[in-house]
Amino acid sequence: MNHPIIAPSILSADFANLESTFHMLNESEAQWIHLDVMDGNFVPNISFGMPVIKSLRKLTRKVFDAHLMIEAPERYIHNFKLIGVDVLTVHYETQTHLNRTVDLTKKIGMKAGVALNPHTPVSLLKDIISELDLVLIMSVNPGFSGQKFIENTYNKIAEAKEMILAHNSKAMIQVDGGVNAGNAPKILEAGADVLVAASYIFHHDNPIEAIKQLKYPKIL
């Protein structure tokens, strides 16, 4: 089993101490930092936006992985590039012209991802999978951290992996929601490449150890 990319989501971090959080992340084996951007419309929560991300960019050289849970994200693609985002993921459910959004994201120098809500079929990505750098499979309904992992996610991961291989796509599979050391082996066995975790890492007594447990999971 290849070791996955770990992308801690700062949604569960202490926002009064983000600088110390980033010092910890810089010392950890996490390769990416997951940024959940919510507008209170597409999902029933509001998180943080571009000014915060711009400030945090100064604290690390790690990959900034932005997950836009917002309506009409195509309006802000250039802005996210300017503040230092490396991987930009939009939701399939927000898009009328998905190809256009993906093309623009890649054209200006970011990797392009598409996220699927738990009820959205993987098969809808068939016509664009060869253009994607990332498929984000939501294993909870988006909006809040700390939710229980949806078991059908394993089937969706396997289906996405099969589609990626069939179309010679280089897309990675990212899983977000309820990820922990207990289910990480099965998630990876199904075909995931990138694990996002929020509560499991930031509510752990030792976040650096939690990240290590996800990166080197014990096979049960």
Is 176 designated active site? Answer: yes
Q: Which of 39, 103, 133, 176 is catalytic?
A: 176
Residue 10 one-letter amino acid: I
Place of tokens 């010392």: 27
Helix axes 18-27, 207-215, angle to 10 degrees: 40
Helices (H), the chain: 18-27, 50-57, 77-82, 98-107, 153-166, 184-190, 199-202, 207-215
Q: Is 39 a catalytic residue?
A: no
Kindly name the residue from 36, 65, 133, 193 that is annotated as catalytic: 36
Residue 195 identity: L
52-70: b or e for each residue (b if 16 or more CB lie within 10 Å)?
bbeebeebeebbbbbbbbb
Pairing of strands 5-8, 194-197: parallel
Q: Which residues are catalytic?
A: 36, 176
